[in-house]
Amino acid sequence: MCAATSWCACANWRQIPCSRSRAGRFSPAPGRRRHRVDTRVFNHPEAVVQGWYWLARSREIRRGQVVPLRLLGRELAVYRGDDGRVAALDAYCAHMGAHLAEGRVEGNALRCFFHRWRYEADGRCSDIPCLAGQARPQISVRCWPTAERYGMVWLWTGETPADDLPEVPELAGKACDALVANRFRKRCHPNVVLINAIDEQHFASVHHLPGSILTMEAVPRSVSNIEFRNLGKVPTSKRLGRLLARFYQGPLTYTLSYWYGSLGTVTLGPDFLHLHLMFALRVGDDGSTEGQTLALTRQRRGPLGWLVNRLLLYGTALAARYFAWGDTRVFETIRFDFRHPIPADRAVLAFIRHLESQPLARWHEIDRTGARPRPTRMRLAGTDQESSDG
């Protein structure tokens, strides 16, 4: 850990560079130096990082059912086919814009209610009843990659997923049991919710932990993933600290793995028993956070293993509620404005730097909700009029 006098140089906190970003521009106020962190991605509701986002609980989409869902300002028709797989299509029919969730599932396809056009899971229109026996134009609606894990349906905000679904580092590649715990809303951006968990200062002021117990180290793992590891040890100046220190050979276990600025895993607990959480976040229409908590643990065999896992999962979910409770007052009233970074903010600044370099999805550029379709140059037979795709 750097001394305060040399910290600015080693943490490079004045620069948060990326090709798209104005981050790192600091404007001094008259009479004193001010260092406002200016960004293009962090804490911007319109910026959608390319990645996996939670869409719904798996049980909310039954086989043969289509449901209307809204994700990051975009309307979708999401259905589960006869093969059990979930497909997500842009909500509006390519013919006249009827909402496809008003239709019905046929096998592994979705048929529009209005004129009965049928769309496959890849978005391709495979049947237009009124053109039976005639050549059918090549028409499609946008489809989005989906996946299911941890009892949730996830959607990738791009063409082809660049990553597998995120995992807890300690559980990577292992079979896991999951508990879909509480769903919540916070009145701030998901980026702000995530930096709260790596803000060393607030653990002392809000959660009353000893000030030296957390010292977070940032370790970028990929363009989309950054890990934060605690290097601080349990203080042993008091009896309670000496008791707790017996359960840790080294630093107190507190490790976070962040993806896309909207999904985070947390590992904590004594050396003999680690608890694992996942917080899946997305921005709502009003700029607030819509979140889903998941508790995770490795699978254990037999009836006893099942019982142990139930206890661990519910205990983990309760621990998550405890830590979130103290921060709720802040999230309800905060107007985030990062004006004066200090050395203790090094983990927060590392998160912002990493997020600013992540690729953005073209989420709002194609058929955004409520936007009128662009006219096409298709001539109507026997006329000089132009038609649109809607």
3 state SS of 7: helix
For residue 308, pLDDT over 90 is answered with yes
Q: Average pLDDT for residues 333-353, to the nearest whole number?
A: 91
| Per-residue confidence (pLDDT) for residue 388, from 0 to 100 | 37
| Per-residue confidence (pLDDT) for residue 380, from 0 to 100 | 40
Sheet containing 263-268: give its strands across.
176-186, 289-298, 275-283, 263-268, 254-259, 225-230, 216-220
Query: Going by CATH, does the domain composed of 52-159 fall within 2.102.10.10?
Result: yes
Give the whole-angstrom CA distance, residue 165 versus residue 260: 12
End-to-end CA, the chain: 59
Tokens of 191: 């980026």
| Per-residue confidence (pLDDT) for residue 288, from 0 to 100 | 94
Give the whole-angstrom CA distance, residue 117 versus residue 107: 14
Residue indicated by tokens 């919710």:
193
For residue 14, pLDDT over 70 is answered with no
For residue 204, pLDDT over 70 is answered with yes
Q: Average pLDDT for residues 284-308, to the nearest whole number?
A: 95
Structure confidence at residue 366 as a pLDDT band (50, 70, 90): low
Structure confidence at residue 240 as a pLDDT band (50, 70, 90): confident
- Of the listed ranges 47-56, 193-202, 333-342, 371-380, the least confidently predicted one is 371-380
Q: Which residues pair with 268 in a beta bridge?
A: 254, 275
Q: Between these two residues, 25 and 85, which has the higher pLDDT value?
A: 85
Give the whole-angstrom CA distance, residue 186 versus residue 87: 29
Q: Average pLDDT for residues 348-376, to the nearest whole number?
A: 73
Domain boundaries, the chain: 52-159, 169-356
Structure confidence at residue 384 as a pLDDT band (50, 70, 90): very low
pLDDT above 70 covers a percentage of the chain that reads 82
**Confidence (pTM):** 0.83
Q: Average pLDDT for residues 172-194, to the nearest whole number?
A: 95
| Per-residue confidence (pLDDT) for residue 211, from 0 to 100 | 60
Q: Average pLDDT for residues 248-273, to the nearest whole number?
A: 94
Q: Between these two residues, 187 and 200, which has the higher pLDDT value?
A: 187
| Per-residue confidence (pLDDT) for residue 38, from 0 to 100 | 75
Class of the CATH domain delimited by 169-356: alpha beta
| Per-residue confidence (pLDDT) for residue 313, from 0 to 100 | 96
Q: Residue 294: which residues within 8 A CB-CB, separation 6 or more?
A: 150, 151, 152, 178, 179, 180, 181, 277, 278, 279, 280
Mean pLDDT of the chain: 84
- Of the listed ranges 123-137, 160-174, 349-363, the least confidently predicted one is 123-137
Structure confidence at residue 232 as a pLDDT band (50, 70, 90): confident
Longest dimension (CA), the chain: 91
